[in-house]
Structure 1
Amino acid sequence: MKSLSAELAGRPIVPTVSSGAFTDKVRQTVKLLFGTPLNAILTIVFGAVLFAVVPPMFRWFVLDAVLFDPDPNACRAASGACWSFIYAKSGQLLFGIYPFDERWRPALVCVLIIALLAWSVRPASWTPRLLQLWIAALALVGWLMGGGLGLAPVPTSSWGGLPVTLILTVVAIGVAFPIGVLLALARRSTTMPAMRIIAVAFIEGIRGLPLLSILFVASIMLPLFLPDYLLPDKFVRALVALTLFASAYLAEVIRGGLQAVPSGQYEAAEALGLSFWRTQRLVILPQAIRVAIPALANTIIVMIKNTSLVLVVGLFDLISSGKAALADPAWPSPAAETFLFIGAIFFALSFSFARFSDFLERRGHIGY
C-alpha cells in the first residue's frame, strides 16, 4: 500500500468530466430548444433559415471570393466577393484623398488615437495627467494632419477616411461632455432662473432639429453671414455642430442621472458644509454619472455613427472615401464589399465602447 500510495502521489491528477453532468446539460439544451411547441417551431424555423442562408453566404464570402489578386478582371470573372478591391484600395478607403506620399501621417494619427483610447480605459490611468496627455496628443494630431513646422501643409479639404471619423468622435464627445454637465446643472438650477431658461432653450432647440440641418447651417448658411476672415474652416464648423448636438443630448442624459440621486445625498453634503461646486464634484456627479452610464453609452455610440453625416457637407469621412474609391472605372464597383468593410470599422468602434460601458457599469454599481 505504501509503494502504491507513493506511486500515485507522483502522478498528476487529471480531472474527469462526469457523464451524468454532460447528460444533464444535453437534456437542458434540448428542453430549452424543444420544451414547448412554440420553442420547437422557432428552433426549426431558425435552423432552416440558417441552413438556407449560411452556406451561400460562406461561398460568397470565402470559397468563390477573390482575395488578393490585383487584377480587376479577376473580380469581374468571379461569382463571389471582391476582397482584392478592399486590399488594393485600402489606402484610399482609410485615408480618403490625403496626399499619397504623406499617408504615413494619418496612419500614425489613427494609431495614436486608438492607442490612447486603449490606454484611457485602464482605471490606473484615470488621473489629471490623462487630460494633459489627451491635450498634447490632439495638438500632435493637428500638427500631423495639417502640417507645418517641417511637414508639408495639407488643408482640411484633403483630410478623409478613418482619421476624420476618429478626430470628430473624440473631440466632439470630449468637449460636449463637460458642456452637457453644465447644461444639466443649469437646467436643474432653482437659484439662477436666467441660466435655467438659457439651458432649456438651447437643449430643446438643438434636440428639436435634425443633425443634418445643423450641419447645413454651419457649413452653408454661416458663410452667408460672416466675412471670410471670421469664417472658421469647414472641418471646424462641422466639428462645432457635432459638439453642440452631442452636448444637448448628453445634458438630458446627465440630468436623468442627477434626478436619480437620492435627496439625502444633497442633505448630507450640506450638513458637511460643502459648497455647491464641491458637492457636485465630490458627491452628486460621480453617483449621477454612474447611474447614467447605459444611457451615456448609447448616446455616445449614436454620435460615433452620426459622424458619417458630415459627407453631406463635403467632408471625406469613411463613407465618402468608400464612394470615391468605387468611382474608379477600372474596377467593377464592389459596393457590398466596400460598405461591409466600412460597417465593420464602425461596428468595431461601437462594440468596443459598448464593452467598456459594461465594464464601467460592473465597476461602479451602487445599487439604485
Structure 2
Amino acid sequence: MGFLKTCVLRRNACTAVCFWRRQFIQKPSVRKISTTSPRSTVMPAWVIDKYGSNEVLRFTQNMMIPMIHYPNEVIIKVHAASINPIDVNMRSGYGATALNMKRDPLHIKIKGEEFPLTLGRDVSGVVMECGLDVRYFKPGDEVSHKPKSLTHGQAASLPYVALTAWSAINKIGGLNDKNCAGKRVLILGASGGVGTFAIQVMKAWDAHVTAVCSQDASELVRKLGADDVIDYKSGNMEEQLKYLKPFDFILDSVGGSTETWALNFLKKWSGATYVTLVTPFLLNMDRLGIADGMLQTGVTVGSKTLKHFWQGVHYRWAFFMASGPYLDDIAELVDAGKIQPVIEKTFPFSKVPEAFLKVERGHARGKTVVSVV
C-alpha cells in the first residue's frame, strides 16, 4: 500500500501514520463527502496478483487513483515509502486471512478477490484532498504531520517501526519518560528498524541500554546511545549475559530460541517485563482459520503469561498499534534531536523488487526506503 503514487488515509482508523487501506467493499455515499470531484485518472503502482516469491511483484501504470469514500478520509500524494519485514511476509501470503477479514467482514467476497494487491505499510507525502469531516489535515499538509526536520524519505522510515516499538515499550511495557530513568533495558535485534528506534527512545528517557546485535553493527548502535553492546555471533549469549546485572525490561524482536532463556535475565519479583514482537497470531489464523486461530493464540499467550508470572516476571506480546497522538509524541522527540531515522539504503520507485530482496535477506541496519517522487 506504500507503493502507489497516491493513497487514501482514514484519520480514525489509521491516524496520520500514512498506514492506509483502499476501500474494496463499500460504495461512496450519495451525499458529497469530498472537497473535490472524484478523480478518474490512473497512476503507476507495484502490485501482486498472487502470493509467492519476489517474482510475483508486477509494475502497472494503470492503477486507478483512489477516491474518497468516507468524509473522514484524505488522499495523499506519496513522496516516499519504506519496506518492513511484514511486507515481504505478506507478499508470500502471511496474514491473508486477517487481511481479507478486515476488508470483507461479512465474508461475501470470493477467495482471491483481494488481487491485485498493493503492499506497503507506511509512507510520507502531501495531502491532496480531504473529506468534508476532516479537520486535523488540509490540502498541502505534509503528513503525518511530518517532523519539520526530516525529508520525506526519512519520515517514511519511521511510522511502522516507531509505533511498533512505542506500543511494546509504552503501551504494553508501561515505560515512559517519567519512570524509565535508571532502568536496565535489554534489546534483542537492536540493529533493525524497531531496535534502532527503541534504543533512542530508551536513551531519551534515561534508561541504561544493552544492545544485542552482530559485531559489524556495534558502531551504529553505540552511536545511537547503547551503553553496552553484545555480539550474538561471538559466543553463547547466555554466558555473555550472566556477567551483567539483571534487567528491568527486555524487548525481543528476534524470537525463536531467545524466548527459552531471555526471561532468566530479568529481575525477579520486581515488576520486570519481557515483551516479544514475535507472535503466532496471524500464523494461527492462516493455518487454523479465524475462530480456531484466535482460540489457539489465546491459549498460548495465556499459558505463557501464567507460567512466567509464577516465576516472578511478566511475559507480554506486542504488535503495531496505529495512533496519531503517539506519532505526535514521536515527532516532538525527532524535532528535539533525540531520535533520528536510521536508513540503510534508498531505492528508486523502479527498483521496488530489489528493495524487497534487500529486506528479505535480513541483517538490517535500520530501514530500507523507496523514493516515489
TM over 0.5: no
TM-score normalized with structure 1 length: 0.26
Structure with more of its chain in helix, by fraction: 1
Q: TM-score, normalised by structure 2?
A: 0.26
Higher-Rg structure is 1
